[in-house]
Structure 1
Amino acid sequence: MAKSLTISLVQTDNVWENIDVNLKNLTSKIEEIQEKTDMIILPELFTTGFTMEAEGIAETMDGVGIQWMLDTANKKECVVLGSLLIIESGNYFNRLIVAFPDGNIKHYDKRHLFSFAGEDKVFKAGTERMTFEYKGFKICPLICYDLRFPVWARNTEDFDLIIFVANWPNARMLAWDTLLKARAIENLCYVIGLNRVGIDNNQLVYTGHSAVYDAMGATLLNFEPGEGAIGSVSIDIDHIEQTRSKFRFLEDRDSFVIN
């Protein structure tokens, strides 16, 4: 039997800079997931929206947002993944958290900060890519603007799935759709892009376009534009192994070091 992973994507709006209300709303939405799932994915900065007003709203690694993720992971017996606004050692991070049902966590700090919106003036950039293994899958989680940098996303570690969590505005939706598919094709792996919907306090419109692509770039799941919804999909290791056995393109990839 093929090893498979069932993943639930929560494409949702949020309330600007209101952690408590966003967590309450997400709790209600996640309760709608009745089927067994192995992973729940939430958007970038899902507790606050894409705010640059970090002071006074950023939380620590033992804050309410991460505790909520751990509680949800325990209750649903699955991984919960999304990014939060974190303060640590006097620095602010757009930090992706992976909360495991056993109480462990891993994290990744966004490498490519969105200078177009001044993110680089507020947050400190991450320096290391993080991968983790879960139920036989090797997974690489990244954040939003990272999608535009194929070298950073390059499959040098033979991972099976790349996940991008995002606040990607509707004005640049064509780039989102195109680059997600490209990352799947060039890396011969599954790619998941989970984006938000709604309008934020900067009057930016988000229409979602969350999607899942297989290693050949075929669409496995997508959402109605602008719709707040939850979608689930199962991915399997056999597809990765068969695709890479037939198309041995990764064997010809370049070797490089990122400074």
Structure 2
Amino acid sequence: MSTLTVSLVQYDIQWLSPEHNFKKIERLTAQLQPCDLLLLPETFATGFALKEQTAEFADPALTFMRALAAQHNCVVAGSVLVSEGDKKANRFYWCWPPALNEETGRVEYYDKRHLFCLGHEGNYVSAGRDRKVFEIGDFKILPQVCYDLRFPVFQRNRNDYDVMVNVANWPAARRFAWDTLLRARAIENQCYVLANNRIGEDGYGTAHNGGTVALDYLGQSLLQVPDDQTGVITTTLSKEALVQFRTQFPAHLDADDFNLEC
């Protein structure tokens, strides 16, 4: 697969109302173009409900994702708050569609690594430890969640991925940082960046205005959902164009060598 077609969904997540959010996603993706990867925002089923009980919603959210993957014959990815000991994990699930003679496809996940100390996130959520890279066809993809975006060492491309994905509930008050850091990650890592954010006000009164975008390896926008609007964008990434750019401008050959310990 020399191309990767991706769809990103932006909407106002109804607080602690999974069924409402599932129906909204179904409506938005009813006429979805054929794609390889469908991205949903961080905590797409409940909103970023750190302090509330969300364990009962985790299994239905995963079941919904697996059904959506089967329906559209693509990988469906989005984060869910799941029980992890006496806390939660912000688990970024990747659900593959069923292969021939399978009822359900495989599921992998990445747990959000970086927790927002100013919001006391660590009081409710356990930090993930593993940096993971998933593969769809010829594309290697680094999954990240929201606040991870601020930590470039963890995201440093060691020639091990082609696309960085970040799903978020990133506040409107810090939108400038979101836009700037996404472009920086694309440029410094010579990779595509797919970023998926929500709109609307959450249960804590925090406003979000979107910024869902697909960027190329130059940090240039390929497509973006308009601010404060519900919508779906679909774009196709070229592996050939990425390899050609890296060959012509091989900045990665001058990068510092280091080991990452989590």
State if a TM-score over 0.5 links the two structures: yes
TM-score using structure 1 length: 0.95
Q: Distance in 2 between matches of 1:157 and 1:107?
A: 21
Query: Superposition pairs for residues 120-131 of structure 1, below 5 Å?
Result: 120-131=122-133
Q: Check the 8 A contact 1:168/1:195 in 2, yes or no.
A: yes
Counterpart secondary structure, 2:166: strand
Q: Distance in 1 between matches of 2:20 and 2:39?
A: 18
Q: Which consecutive residues of structure 2, in runs of 5 or more, have no partner in the other structure?
A: 99-104
What is the letter of the counterpart of residue 8 of structure 2? Answer: L
Q: Distance in 2 between matches of 1:205 and 1:32?
A: 29
More displaced 10-residue stretch of structure 1: 87-96 or 104-113: 87-96
Q: Check the 8 A contact 1:54/1:122 in 2, yes or no.
A: no
Aligned residue pair count = 255
TM-score using structure 2 length: 0.94
Q: Which consecutive residues of structure 1, in runs of 5 or more, have no partner in the other structure?
A: none
- Residue number among 180, 190, 193 corresponding to 2:192 in the alignment: 190
Query: Superposition pairs for residues 1-150 of structure 1, below 5 Å?
Result: 3-33=2-32, 35-55=33-53, 57-59=54-56, 63-102=59-98, 103-150=105-152
Q: Distance in 1 between matches of 2:192 and 2:206?
A: 29
Q: Check the 8 A contact 2:152/2:185 in 1, yes or no.
A: yes
Counterpart secondary structure, 1:183: helix
Q: Check the 8 A contact 2:159/2:252 in 1, yes or no.
A: no
More displaced 10-residue stretch of structure 1: 156-165 or 74-83: 156-165
What is the letter of the counterpart of residue 183 of structure 1? Answer: R
What is residue 232 of structure 1 aligned with on the other side? 234
Q: Check the 8 A contact 1:54/1:85 in 2, yes or no.
A: no
TM-superposed CA distance for 1:90, in Å, is 4.1
What is the letter of the counterpart of residue 19 of structure 2? Answer: D
Counterpart secondary structure, 1:66: helix
Summarize deviations over 1:179-217 as a string: whole Å, max 9, x none.
000000000010011100011121111110111111111
TM-superposed CA distance for 1:58, in Å, is 2.1
Counterpart secondary structure, 1:123: coil
Q: Distance in 2 between matches of 1:179 and 1:42?
A: 20
Root-mean-square deviation (Å): 1.4
What is residue 248 of structure 2 aligned with on the other side? 246
TM-superposed CA distance for 1:123, in Å, is 0.4
Q: Check the 8 A contact 2:18/2:57 in 1, yes or no.
A: no
TM-superposed CA distance for 1:68, in Å, is 0.8
What is the letter of the counterpart of residue 55 of structure 2? Answer: A
What is the letter of the counterpart of residue 83 of structure 2? Answer: I
Query: Superposition pairs for residues 139-178 of structure 1, below 5 Å?
Result: 139-178=141-180
What is the letter of the counterpart of residue 155 of structure 1? Answer: N
What is the letter of the counterpart of residue 19 of structure 1? Answer: P
TM-superposed CA distance for 1:32, in Å, is 3.0
Q: Check the 8 A contact 1:54/1:92 in 2, yes or no.
A: no
What is residue 179 of structure 1 aligned with on the other side? 181
Q: Check the 8 A contact 1:43/1:83 in 2, yes or no.
A: yes
TM-superposed CA distance for 1:29, in Å, is 1.5
Q: Check the 8 A contact 1:111/1:125 in 2, yes or no.
A: yes
Q: Distance in 1 between matches of 2:52 and 2:107?
A: 22
Q: Check the 8 A contact 1:166/1:194 in 2, yes or no.
A: yes
